[in-house]
Structures are given as C-alpha cells and as structure tokens.
Amino acid sequence: MIMPSRSTRNRAFLLSAALATASFSGTTLAEELRLITWGGYAPDDVVAQFEEETGIDVQVTLSNNEDMISKLRATGGAGFDLAQPSQDRVVGVQRQFNIYKPIDFSRVNTDQLQPSMVKATQESTELDGKFYGVPSVWGTSGLIVHSSVADIVSDYTDLCDSGVEGQVSYRLKRPTLIGFAFAMGMDPFAAYDNRDEYETIMTKVEDKLIDCKSNVKTYWTGGDQLLALLRTGEVKAAMAWDAGGWSLNAENPDIRFVAPESGALGWIDTFAIPRRSENEEAAYKWINFVMQPEIAARITNASGNFTASKGADEFVKADLRDAYRESFDDAAINNIKWYPPVPPGLETMEGQVLDRVQAAN
C-alpha cells in the first residue's frame, strides 16, 4: 500500500483527453465545463451525475501544479474554465502571470464549507484585496504513533523523548523543520517576511534536530519504506501524512495518525477560475455541486483525501471515516497550520539547515 505523498502525486499524474472541440458555423454546441484537476478529484460517477442534473458536459484534464501553471501561462489563462492549484501556488503565479480572476464569493455556497478552511484559503490566495481560491481537497502531515508509545508522543518534539530512542523516523525535509518549530513554541509562518527572524528559528530547530539524532532509526525517504518500518514495529513513532496513518490503521488498529498538540501541517487544493474562462457559471455550479457533503464524500473515497465540505465525513466509507474522526475533532481541525506561499530564498536556507543536520555526528 502506497502513501499518497505530494511528490508522488506530482510524479504520477496523468494527462487526460483533450480540450474543448471547436464549433462550426451554424451549429450549437452543448454547454461545457473544461476542468483541469488532480486524479481522484472528478470521479466518473460524480461527473455523470453533474452532467445529468445540469446538462453541462464536463471535459476533465488530469494534471498537477506545475502542469496547470504551464498550460494556463501559455494561454494567458485560456483553455479551461476551472482549475485546482494548491493554495500556496496561486498568489506568486497570479502576481507574475495574471492567469486567474478573483473569486466571487457571492456565487459560492460557503455554508457547505469548513469556515477555518475558507479563512485559510482566502488568506493564502489574497492579492491586492481580492481572493483567488476556494478550498476543495486537503490533507496534513502529523504523527503516526503505535499505541505502546501513545502516552509519550503527542507532538513533534516528543519524537526526541528518551522513551522512544531508536524507534523514530521522519524525513529531512522542510515539513520537519516547520513542525518542530511550532512544537518548540515558535511560529515560522509568521516569520516568513522577516528573514533574520526566520533564520533564528531555523537555527534553534537545527540544534534540536541534531540533539535528536540518536532517537532516529532512519530518516525515511519513501512512503513504502516508512510503512514497512511501522508495520514491523521497528519504528513506533514517525512524522508523516494522515492518509498513510489511516491506511495503516485499517491494517492494525494499534497504529494511529495523531494530530500533534501544536497543530498538524496542512495543504489545501483550491478551486480557481482561469482569467479567460469561457463558462464561469458552470465553474461555480461545479464548485457548489461537488462540495455537497454526499458528493464530496465520493471524492474522498476516490482520492483518499478529505474535502472542505462540512459534514462530508458522515458519508465516507466507514473505516476511513472512523480513522479520520479519531484523528481530527473540531479543535484539531481549527488548529491545523495551513501552508502559506513560501517567499523566495527561504527554501535555500532550509536546505542548508537540513544538510547540516544530516552531516552532524
């Protein structure tokens, strides 16, 4: 069973069938919605129901962040009526290429959506007082913990507790830096615009991770590797994605995904309207249709990730629903630290920190 990492999703994307066909003189074409999205976000049965209820033909192109940006940049925001970029890949792209148009929230049924996710998406997609994204599908990284150490590990820095020495794994990637910073009582996202302050935070995290090295069984690099370590019990606590923890929980109820006390780290894939969309009305109809709880649950069942639809977990398949509810109550949802856009230069600094941690004895 493979853990659905963001990088894996980026590598494994499929490019689907083509753009809308051209019309010829005197012929009236059926109304259509041209959607560019991720695999699993537009299941065939959901598309069929939308088409039946609205009479709108849906043309789906499967993609990823880089491909969406490339296609929309090449056409100046044409070719599609609705896109689904991640929330931290909207503002920088819009500022540079002007490929989206602002969201008209009067046309979005926000009563269906988790308020904290609407707020987080608005904050991360705001440019010049306008918002460019509506929350759609989301996921987090946090802790995967065996019940035998559940009383020890409830936050990222607990991975450094002597009670789990040699039984811990996490990646040497930026989510580890961010998670440890929050668990140490700092707010790295608030320091994004202050390079000196951010460097101070990273220095403290670097020292902590170096001190923690004796606890680490291995720094995992692939989802299959980590799942195997957790299955065999070689690793009892790890920092990883929620979907991986839920898949392990289905195999072994003693293994759970835990939202850390300082907050899980969250990403949101959005709905965004391309600047030269030819059918905005259909785009808003799709947004409001798929965010109905019963429809959104079918997207979760297809993709393995939950949506911003409020109450949709009621309709998700039982094993996934129960694992989700055990991980996230309302307080844990509201405590998620959503990734904002990363300012230029910070990832280089983080890479240098990670290199020093790796090299330290």
- State the DSSP H helix or E strand holding residue 204, giving kind and residue range, or none if neither: helix 195-211
CATH code for the domain defined by 31-138+267-334? 3.40.190.10
Cα distance between residue 50 and residue 335, in whole Å: 34
CA distances from residue 24 to 19, 29, 75 in whole angstroms, order as listed: 16, 9, 22
Task: Return the SS3 of 195.
Answer: helix
> What pLDDT sits at residue 2?
40
> What pLDDT sits at residue 153?
98
Decide: 41 and 303 in contact? Cβ < 8 Å: yes
Write out the two tokens for 354.
Answer: 């990670």
Percent of the chain with pLDDT over 90: 84
Cα distance between residue 278 and residue 327, in whole Å: 41
> What pLDDT sits at residue 18?
37
Taken in order 78, 16, 109, 324, the sign of the CA dihedral is negative
- Please indicate whether residue 142 or residue 1 has the higher confidence score (pLDDT): 142
Write out the two tokens for 287.
Answer: 């947004």
Residue 310 phi/psi, 5° resolution? -75, 125
Neighbours of 290 (CB within 10 A): 24
Work out the pLDDT band at 223, boundaries 50, 70, 90: confident
Decide: 239 and 192 in contact? Cβ < 8 Å: no
> What pLDDT sits at residue 7?
40
> What pLDDT sits at residue 163?
97
Cα distance between residue 190 and residue 284, in whole Å: 32
> What pLDDT sits at residue 23?
37
Say if residue 168's pLDDT is above 80.
yes
Q: Where are the domains of the chain?
A: 31-138+267-334, 141-264+338-359
Cα distance between residue 22 and residue 29, in whole Å: 9
Pick the range with the lowest mean pLDDT from 16-25, 182-191, 330-339.
16-25
Cα distance between residue 130 and residue 102, in whole Å: 6
pLDDT in tens, 52-95: 999 999 999 999 999 999 999 999 999 999 999 999 899 999 99
Mean pLDDT of 44-54: 98
| Beta bridge mates, 61 | 36
Q: Taking every pair of C-alpha atoms in the chain, what is the biggest distance, in angstroms?
A: 76
Cα distance between residue 181 and residue 262, in whole Å: 9
Q: CATH class for domain 141-264+338-359? A: alpha beta
Say if residue 232's pLDDT is above 50.
yes
Average pLDDT, the chain: 91
Say if residue 4's pLDDT is above 60.
no
Q: How many alpha carbons fall within 13 Å on the CB side of residue 71? A: 25
Say if residue 140's pLDDT is above 60.
yes
Decide: 326 and 308 in contact? Cβ < 8 Å: no
Mean pLDDT of 145-152: 98
Q: Specify the pairing of strand 100-101 against strand 273-274.
A: antiparallel
Question: Are domains 31-138+267-334 and 141-264+338-359 of this chain identical in fold?
Answer: yes
CA distances from residue 215 to 62, 122, 167, 236 in whole angstroms, order as listed: 41, 39, 7, 11
pLDDT in tens, 243-276: 899 989 999 999 999 999 999 999 999 999 999 9
> What pLDDT sits at residue 343?
86
pLDDT in tens, 170-217: 999 999 999 999 999 999 999 999 999 999 999 999 999 999 999 999
